[in-house]
Amino acid sequence: MVHLLKVIVAFAIAVMWYYLTGNQEIAIAFLVLMLIISFVRPIAYQSTTERQEFIEKFRKSKERQINLELMRKEEKRRAQEEKGKKKSKEEDSE
């Protein structure tokens, strides 16, 4: 509904300009300009505390991922060692 209202307002401004001046090209340019202005959102800046909190959460998340990856590699290494030990025991018993 809001978008439709924005389009109608932009169209009304362009039509008024056309009736006042009779210049169709500028009226179309006003229509396009008003649509761009009404639909483009400005950049929202974060406060420094919010940014620092986000950076801290991101850093902790990265550290957690690295630790999980190291634990996974360690478990994989242990599993291969156990597999190797079992294999060597089987060879020794034969």
pLDDT 10s digits, 21-61: 988 999 999 899 999 988 888 777 778 888 899 999 999 99
Q: Which residue has the higher pLDDT, 91 or 72?
A: 72
Cα–Cα distance measured from residue 61 to residue 53, given in angstroms and rounded to the nearest whole number:
12
HEC per residue, 7-51 = HHHHHHHHHHHHHHHCCHHHHHHHHHHHHHHHHCCCCCCCCHHHH
- Identify the band that residue 89 occupies on the pLDDT scale cut at 50, 70 and 90: low
Domain ranges of the chain: 1-44, 45-94
Which of 69, 1, 12 is closest to 35 using CA atoms? 12
What is residue 78's three-state secondary structure?
helix
- Identify the band that residue 92 occupies on the pLDDT scale cut at 50, 70 and 90: low
